Structure 1
Amino acid sequence: MSHARPLRKLPLLLLLVMLSGCAAAMPPRPLAPPETVRASIIRLAEQEWAAFNGQTIRFDALGREIIAPVGFWEDERRGDALVAKYWRAVGSDWRGFDVDKPWSAAFISWVMAEAGVPAEEMPPSATHAGYLRAAIAAGGGKWRAHPPEDYAPRPGDLICATRAGQKIERFDVIPVGATLHCDIVVLTGVGRLWSIGGNVRNSVSRTERQIDAAGRLARDDVRPWFLVLENRYPR
């Protein structure tokens, strides 16, 4: 009568390394026809905004911020699971309960991956500087950088601002480790555009923003815009 050979015990350190590698593994990107990418980016951003219960930000005539409705936040049970999904897109196992970990770039990375944007165009990154540097370096293929004063954003574009006093000398030269924030433009109208971003007031929020008569972003002291990344996928 034969007996099954007992399994050898893996050293604890090796086992932990293997498990951590599984947790941080990034899922493969789906392939998508180029003509579907722009619409998918907008649809996915709106889908995630709705999943956070549609938190919406606008500003009154005095520039005061109004949030209505207030959606789910990152440190609520539903928000926690959604933020964890975005972190997995950049190979991290943080969650929404990890409120000290900024996740706005992970949100953008998740949207781009799910929409089928190739990783060589926009690699997954936990920082906005990481994927912006790669997209700009790609040479103007599917993404092209513009200064905000020269280009009117359209749905599917990214609008990017500096944070925490970061100084950017050129719109198309992003310093390594720059502190930034980007939103996805989802709708434009007369004098207004609407954009969706992650980790905006602790949620995925849609914000109403002013644009001038030519459709360009108005000066904003809250979000010092320095770059519009044009999405050149088919409309």
Structure 2
Amino acid sequence: MNIDRPFVDVRACWQPAGSRSSHGADGRLPAILPFVLVLLLASLLSGCGGGSSGSGGYADRPPSDRVALTAWQEWTRFGRSTVVYGGQAGGYVNRRGVSERSEPLSSKIGDYWGSCGHPSWNGRTSKPWSGAFVTWVMSHSDISAKEFPRDGRHGGYLATLYDRQRIGGRPAFVLHAPNEYSPRPGDLVCTGSAGPTWRHADSRTARRRIDHTASHCDIVTDVRGGFVQAVGGNVKDSVSMSLYPVDSRGRLRPVPGKTWFMVVEKRV
């Protein structure tokens, strides 16, 4: 298996005016953000500027988990697009990465789809590719098709994982409601068009709800500083890391504009 060595001393810094978003005309955090949130984000981004390579910025250390590392490397390869959630920083774009319509990411999306049997689809086909990204990461992390299905649709692979979990034994992946489990590197955090109503439904209804209401999953690469760091495809038209707030137990906090659907625990 081919795994590129990550550039461990690349830092993720607060971007200047060239990386503007709708949240601030000069590309910086809006002045209305609570001071405590500014301090927290500054701590997370403390790797910017001078200092040694071990200064602890959130982008400095590659994960040790193989699935998390594969996702982290793709995020690094395509510009480290970063989105911050929590409080009033809901969806603040700290850094923009390579666009899905630009090379080399556009062609690489064809590789993502290739892992699901559709190599002709790429970044210019306007097909949502976030599910294909997850499947590609799994397949390039020595996770077999028996352990994780080669399906480019989130609802498709989650429903199959649900079926395998119901069979019993030792499933490679276990589905949890967001309030039941604290995500770790290599796990999936997923949103949907509805909450975790599947959790206490009968099996037939639960499978249908999982298949039809799952909308997006990100791969957790780290948990620290009060945030889950999770990498996903087709986020802000790139491979992006989202920072989601967690509570004192490490459980996902509510995020405005997103509905937490499930957390998928990786046991392989």
Q: Give the TM-score normalised by structure 1.
A: 0.77
Q: CA 1:132/1:64 → structure 2, altered by over 3 Å: closer, same or farther? A: closer
Q: Distance in 2 between matches of 1:152 and 1:166?
A: 20
Q: Which residue of 1 aligns with 2:75?
A: 49
CA distance in 2, matches of 1:64, 1:150: 24
Distance in 1 (alpha carbons) for counterparts of 2:196 and 2:228: 24
Contact persistence 1:129–1:174 (CA under 8 A): no
- Contact 2:231-2:240 within 8 A present in 1 as well: yes
CA distance in 2, matches of 1:42, 1:64: 24
Match of 1:114 in 2: 140
- Separation of aligned partners in 2, 1:195 and 1:95: 23
Contact 1:60–1:66 (CA<8 Å) still a contact in 2? no
For the pair 1:203 / 2:238, whether they are aligned, the reply is yes
**Structure 2: distance between partners of 1:137 and 1:190:** 35
After TM superposition, which residue ranges in structure 1, 4 or more long, deviate above 3 angstroms?
165-168, 176-179
Query: 2:220, 2:231 within 8 Å by CA — same for their partners in 1?
Result: yes
Structure 1 residues 208-217 or 188-197, which shifts more? Answer: 188-197
SS at match of 1:116: coil
Q: How big is each residue's C-alpha offset from its partner over 1:76-120, in whole Å with a ceiling of 9 and x where there is no partner?
A: 122201111101111112010112x00000000001111111212
In the alignment, the residues of structure 1 paired with residue 86 and residue 148 of structure 2 have an alpha-carbon distance, to the nearest angstrom, of 35
**Structure 2 length as normaliser, TM-score?**
0.68
Percent identity at matched positions? 31
Match of residue 187 from structure 1: 222
CA distance in 2 between counterparts of 1:56 and 1:232 reads 27
Query: Matched residues in 1 for 2:194 and 2:249: separation?
Result: 27
Q: Which deviates further from its counterpart, 106-115 or 75-84?
A: 75-84
**Deviation of residue 167 (structure 1)?**
6.2
Q: Give 1:79's aligned residue.
A: 105
Counterpart contact for 2:100–2:124, Cα < 8 Å: yes
Pair 1:231 & 2:266 matched:
yes
Q: Which amino acid aligns with 1:170?
A: W
Give secondary structure in 1 for the equivalent of 2:65.
Answer: helix
1:94: which partner in 2? 121
SS of structure 2 residue aligned to 1:227 = strand
Structure 1 partner of 2:180 = 150
Q: Is the 8 A contact 1:105 1:126 kept in 2?
A: yes
- Give structure 1 stretches of 5+ with no counterpart: 1-29, 31-37
Higher relative contact order (CA 8 A, sep 6+): 1
Contact kept? 1:127, 1:177, Cα under 8 Å: no
Q: 2:197 aligns with which of 158, 169, 192?
A: 169
Within 2, Cα distance between the matches of 1:203 and 1:56? 10
Cα RMSD over matched residues? 1.9
Partners of 1:167 and 1:71 in 2: CA distance? 30
May I ask how many residue pairs the two structures share in their alignment?
A: 194
TM-aligned CA deviation for residue 201 of structure 1: 0.9
Matching residue's letter, 2:69:
R
- Give the CA deviation at 1:124: 0.8
**Is this contact kept in 1: 2:151–2:157, CA < 8 A?**
yes
Higher-Rg structure is 1
| Structure 2 equivalent of residue 7 of structure 1 | none
Cα distance 1:59–1:130, how it changes in 2: closer, same or farther (>3 A)?
Answer: closer
Mapped to 1, the partners of 2:228 and 2:121 lie a distance apart of 32
Q: Tell whether the 8 Å contact from 1:168 to 1:174 is kept in structure 2 after alignment.
A: no
Gap change, CA 1:174 and 1:159, over 3 Å in 2: farther
- Kept in 1: contact 2:194–2:259 (CA 8 A): no
